[in-house]
Amino acid sequence: MSKVISKEIYLSEHSTSVKIFKKLKKYFSLKTLNISPITKLRQIKDSDEIYCISKASLIVDSVLEFVQKEIIHEGITEEVLAWEIEKAIRD
């Protein structure tokens, strides 16, 4: 079975950095997408999405409080801190 490799990449003009765009342009034919209709849809929140956002913010708040009180200290590396944050979120 052969793989199909596309030579075209579609990018959002609103969220792609110039650096990434220039790198990808060397290897692919790039096309931008006008995502304004999608953006408009994403602006309207329904009750389920509001519930999920609220739940996520409670998780983030508790993790940040835990990190501030229990984890972060002088000399900790960013790698260790990131791992501790990930573990706290998963728990």
More confident residue, 28 or 85: 85
Name the residue type at position 65: E
DSSP 8-state secondary structure symbol assigned to residue 71: I
* Backbone phi and psi for residue 47, each to the nearest 5 degrees, phi listed first: -65, -35
Q: Is the pLDDT of residue 16 over 90?
A: no
Q: How many other C-beta atoms lie within 10 A of the C-beta of residue 33?
A: 12
Q: Show Cβ contacts of residue 28 under 8 Å, excluding neighbours closer than 6 positions.
A: 7, 8, 9
Rounded-to-10 torsion of CA 67, 71, 75, 80: -90
Q: Is the pLDDT of residue 19 over 70?
A: yes
* pTM of the predicted protein model: 0.49
Instruction: Give the three-state DSSP class for 17.
Output: coil
pLDDT tens-place string over residues 51-75: 999 999 999 999 999 999 999 999 9
